[in-house]
Structure 1
Amino acid sequence: MSLSSHGRVECATASETQAFGEELGRSLAFGDVVILDGPLGAGKTTLTQGIARGMQVKGRVTSPTFVIAREHRSLVDGPALVHVDAYRLLGEGTGNTADPLGELDALDLDTDLDNAVVVAEWGGGLVEQITERYLLVTLDRESALEDDPDSHARVITWRWSSS
């Protein structure tokens, strides 16, 4: 998949969300930063699981809520995946964004962020300060739930942005 500068896809199941994430992961490169935006339960971690498969990194991808950030090393000499819960990293929504690079550095990750892909759940307010170019991915489940309360579908939109 050659990811265009923006787009939209509807994924009917968690498996489809992971498959889209896998395609996305194959298109990411060293130094890329991805913001995942969407409400609780929208599928941010599910999408990240697919991104990890596409990037061919090791380790099981789970929500970074309790560890704040988790690093997954490449199995194929590609970039590492740094999966971040930006909400917790920046003080649980307190607006403490004075030094996001310092906050990431304080986590003592083994990887230089230029040698990784950073995927930040709840990343608004973080990545705009650590990079000039980032991929904003929005996951929307509300639209599908309005039509079918039992739906697991998500509408995923993306666009490359500059700070």
Structure 2
Amino acid sequence: MKEYHANKTDLFNIAKQLVFDCEKIESGRAVVLALQGELGAGKTTLTQHIAKVFGIKKNITSPTFVIEKIYNIPKQTQSKFSKLVHIDAYRLQNKAELNTLGWGESLDNSTNIIVIEWSENISTALPQNTIWVTLKHIDKETRNIKW
């Protein structure tokens, strides 16, 4: 388990470490990052930094109303991943709702990295090797992040 106390300026380096850890996983399936934390804990901000690590230039926002957004990871990053799948599970209540997004196909693609906000809402649908990332408020500027 890794644990950090971080402010916003530290998040990029933490995202780099998290991506580095994900790159080492060889499961034959997508790597799933399950982000947990109360409203405002930094789930979307961490996802934005993960996207930056992959060289994604698009503006990353929480897909609260569309539930899922998929971003291509530029080839020049030399990552084993080709797509960042960003899911906001805040409005999802079960695996059946997740399946309407093509969950099985996303999960079966080993070149996907899937980042899920509000993952606790669909925890029973997540694979056993999911990386659980917990974000907690320490104070207005600082978060505790562990996985």
- Equivalence for 1:86: 89
| Shift, 1:55, TM fit | 2.8
Q: Check the 8 A contact 1:7/1:157 in 2, yes or no.
A: yes
Unaligned runs of 5+ in 1: 1-5, 91-95, 146-150, 159-163
Which letter does structure 2 place at the counterpart of 1:157? K
| Shift, 1:64, TM fit | 1.4
Identity within the alignment, %: 33
Unaligned runs of 5+ in 2: 24-28
Question: Deviations 1:13-59 (Å, cap 9, x if unpaired)?
Answer: 21212331132123324611011000111000111111112233352
Match of 1:53, SS? helix
Q: Check the 8 A contact 1:70/1:83 in 2, yes or no.
A: yes
| Shift, 1:127, TM fit | 4.7
| Shift, 1:138, TM fit | 0.6
- Equivalence for 2:44: 45
Q: How many equivalent pairs are there?
A: 135
Q: Check the 8 A contact 1:49/1:61 in 2, yes or no.
A: yes
Bigger CA radius of gyration: 1
- Taking structure 1 as the reference length, the TM-score comes to 0.72
Q: Check the 8 A contact 2:36/2:43 in 1, yes or no.
A: yes
Which letter does structure 2 place at the counterpart of 1:45? T
Closer, same or farther: CA 85–101 of 1 in aligned 2, 3 Å: closer
Among 71, 95, 99, which residue is 1:102 paired with? 99
1:123 aligns with 2:119: yes
| Shift, 1:101, TM fit | 4.5
1:133 aligns with 2:129: yes
